[in-house]
Structure 1
Amino acid sequence: MFNHFFEHQLKGSIILDIYESDIPKFIKENSELLRQHESYGWPVMYDSIDEMEQILIEGGYKYIILMSSYGLNGWVLAKNFEIITRKIE
């Protein structure tokens, strides 16, 4: 995992969906959040949004979105991800 952001992490959240999208969509959907954290070098050091987009694309990062029943909605930036399912007994 490279970086992540989750809103309202609550115990007992049920993950409903995990899906991958592209970096341009990441930039568009999180533009305000990125502007707020620009001076902190988050999620990566960059001088402009275009530069950050280029860094993420050239680095092969994926935008992985999590949706849950309540709380825990957010995203992960990573090069790879794997969903492992387990039967709870």
Structure 2
Amino acid sequence: MREHSTLKTHAALLDQMGRALGLDLQDEAISGRLQFDEISEAVLRCTRCGYPERCRKCVSTMRHAALAQAPDYCRNGDLLAYLKEQRV
């Protein structure tokens, strides 16, 4: 059960980080710009991050599209930057 809780927590953090960058990851998946297996891998990468509390604080203080880029410690920073770049 702990593993399920961890995955849910990090899936939420990933979604919140995307929103802070002006991305809707569900829309990205529906449009085909983001494959569902990429979302799974991104959540797993997020679970290996050593800064979940730092991330939670970062995204909780941001409004939609308030971040120009993901923090340096974000293990999904490259993926999120790529998705953001594709939207332009």
Shorter chain as denominator, the TM-score bin is 0.3 to 0.5
What TM-score, normalized by structure 1, do the two folds share?
A: 0.32
Provide the TM-score with structure 2 as the length reference: 0.32
Higher-helix-fraction structure:
2
The structure with the larger Rg is 1
Q: Which has the higher contact order (CA 8 A, sep 6+)?
A: 1
